[in-house]
Amino acid sequence: MKKMLVVFAFCFAVFNSDGAVDWDIYDDASIQNGDVYSAVNVFSDSFVEMTGGGINILKTFDTAEFAIIRGDVSAGIQLYDSSTVNIYDGNIFGLTANDASTVNIYGGGLEYQYGISSEAVVNYFVSSYSLYDAGGQGVIMNGYWKDGSPFSVSFRDSESWDKANIIIVPEPATVLFFGLAGGVLYNRRKA
């Protein structure tokens, strides 16, 4: 009976009502399909790769690096210190970049960008985009990632939008076209 109470108390302390756990990461790690965490805090100079699974809230500190290849972060991402998050795909609810942190977004679904501190950097790598002023609701950016998939991101206010870096990445066909055109002009000039 005593053993059973100890096991029950341990499970109650570690697992929340959804069966998710909290995880403080100080070394390199990975999060995969089937992994579910309530809160993940990444510290030190760790590198964490997420290829599936789900996290409620993700926080990065120090010089930690977190790569989201696939997966869901349902309550959002908060970056601190000089940490970096690279988002390639997945579904992220919200993003807040503090201190001198860096976020690079190459694809996936990001619903809201809440705030960026004066030293933080948030880079969006897109093939095209357009802006919509939603009045008191902030700014909405619609566009296409470099792989051609559509996206829409809402910025809390114009200040959050002003601090975002939009980097236009041409489609591979465009790069090929300019490369071929440059080759033709170079050959023509030699003759």
> At 159, is the pLDDT very low, low, confident or very high (cuts 50, 70, 90)?
confident
Residue range 53-82: mean pLDDT, rounded = 97
Kindly report the pTM of this predicted structure.
0.80
Does residue 28 carry a pLDDT above 90?
yes
> What pLDDT, on the 0 to 100 scale, is given for residue 189?
63
CB-CB contact of 73 with 53 (8 Å): no
Distance CA 167, CA 142 (A): 14
| Residue-wise pLDDT tens digits, 68-119 | 999 999 999 999 999 999 999 999 999 999 999 999 999 999 999 988 998 9
> What pLDDT, on the 0 to 100 scale, is given for residue 160?
80
CB-CB contact of 116 with 160 (8 Å): yes
> At 154, is the pLDDT very low, low, confident or very high (cuts 50, 70, 90)?
very high
